[in-house]
Amino acid sequence: MNQTEKLRSLLRGPRILAAPGAPDSLSARLVEQAGFEAVYMTGFGATATRLGTPDIGLLTQTEMTEHARNMTRAVSIPVIADADTGYGGPSNIHRTVREYIQAGVAAIHLEDQVAPKRCGQMAGIRLMDRDEAAFRLKAALEARGNDDLVIIGRTDALPAKGAQEAIDRAKLYQDAGVDLVFVDGIKKISEIEAVARAVSGPKVVSIVDGNETVALKASDLEEMGFTVVFYALTALLSATRAVANALAHLRDAGTPEGGPAQHSYADFCDIVDLRFHQDLDERFGR
């Protein structure tokens, strides 16, 4: 069973699929080792770890697909990847789909912002025409051909034009034939409830740390009818806080001793699977 087949099997299951966001391959390993069945390759996190900049459309298609390829090599669970706006016109979308398939991801989502896009939690989002966005999703569906890549239609209309526009677009994208729809930019529980009531069928929700939606558990979202929940920023925000605390202690104390809890060297070697490579060297090294 390949990764797309694994993901489709999980999507058909009775339980909501929780996919924590991983900003890089190391974080993706930690997601898998924590017992999650899928991982979300967040564009916000990819941009932060590769460039140290905000998610405002700075990474190119080739940078994102290379990032995805490295992540799929690092884990044995399905990777759901951010594919931004598709990086251009219909031909660019076609290439984007084929590149992500070759990278080994199980799913991508494509959004309806005008390039350059930005994180769905930010102000100033500009949307493309809804019919144009639907045609672009149809181009992506055609591009996958006989492959079984899961394609998610994402709308960023909620923060830009309100809940009704987001709901209307989600339904339009369902009509276009996508496998799931994703209303991004949600910050309130009432917005999640509105989407849950109005949009039937398979759908994605993203819970972003720091807003009131974190009060909802995965079981609550499952009862509302969501198929997948992303926790896009939990790992990234936790990691940056931990690093900042450790460095502040090192600066002030002049030693790492007594600082915040950290993995031991041996624990870290287990995370990156050093034993596998040592075994290869023992058996085949000169």
Give residue limits of the domains in the chain. 3-235, 242-284
Sign of the alpha-carbon dihedral angle for 59, 145, 4, 114: positive
**Torsion angle of C-alpha atoms 8, 12, 16, 22, degrees rounded to 10:** 0
Please report the DSSP string for 206-218 in residue order: E--TTSGGGGS-H
Mean pLDDT computed over every residue of the chain: 96
Greater model confidence, 72 or 120: 72
- Note the pTM of the prediction, 2 decimals: 0.95
Give the tens place of pLDDT for each residue, 91-145. 999 999 999 999 999 999 999 998 777 665 766 789 999 999 999 999 999 999 9
Q: Which residues fall within 8 angstroms of residue 220, CB to CB, at 6 or more apart?
A: none
With cut-offs at 50, 70 and 90, classify the pLDDT of residue 286. Answer: confident
Looking at the chain, list the stretches that DSSP marks H as alpha helix, in order from N- to C-terminal side: 3-11, 25-33, 43-51, 61-74, 90-103, 130-143, 157-161, 163-176, 189-198, 218-224, 234-253, 265-271, 274-284
Among the four given CATH numbers 2.40.37.10, 3.50.30.30, 3.50.50.100, 3.20.20.60, the one describing domain 3-235: 3.20.20.60
**Torsion angle of C-alpha atoms 142, 86, 159, 207, degrees rounded to 10:** 80
Give the tens place of pLDDT for each residue, 165-202. 999 999 999 999 999 999 999 999 999 999 999 999 99
182, containing H or E segment: strand 180-183
Distances (CA, A) of 95 to 46, 79, 83, 213, 220: 20, 19, 11, 36, 38
Contact 31, 12 (CB under 8 A): no
CA dist., res. 62 & res. 91, Å (int): 15
Give the pLDDT mean for 50-72.
96
pLDDT at 109: 98
CA dist., res. 146 & res. 162, Å (int): 36
pLDDT at 118: 63
